[in-house]
Structure 1
């Protein structure tokens, strides 16, 4: 998480979009995915950086936290 915010701060980002892959092909976010997102979201609020979306990418498609109302 430190590296994520170091890059965002150094580049002067106001907003970020998170993305990671699920090689299994499962588009459903795991409990770990949701937990990490919540930590990142909380840290981003302290830094004044808005998280616009959190994407899960697979061979068969993409899952968007924003589209599913999990933001």
Structure 2
């Protein structure tokens, strides 16, 4: 995820909050360390800009999804 593109898009849309989402083609719905770290960085950046990160969802084809918000990570 390119944080700059995320925030440019959010700012141009005058968004107060965003939901991040991406897929794991492997079928493993658990977040990687990189997913967790990137989510934290985006949350921090959003805080500086007044844009809340409501959730980060990892989607898999056959194993459902993982929601950072549902797991209390955000």
TM-score (norm 1): 0.98
* Residues paired across the two proteins, number: 71
- The equivalent residue for 1:62 is 65
Q: Measure the CA separation in 2 of the matches of 1:38 and 1:68.
A: 14
Partner residue, 1:22: 24
Taking structure 2 as the reference length, the TM-score comes to 0.94
Gaps of 5+ in 1: none
Determine helix, strand or coil for the equivalent of 2:14: coil
Mapping of residues 1-71 of structure 1, within 5 Å: 1-60=3-62, 61-71=64-74
Matched residue SS, 2:71: coil
**Which residues of structure 2 form unaligned runs of 5+?**
none
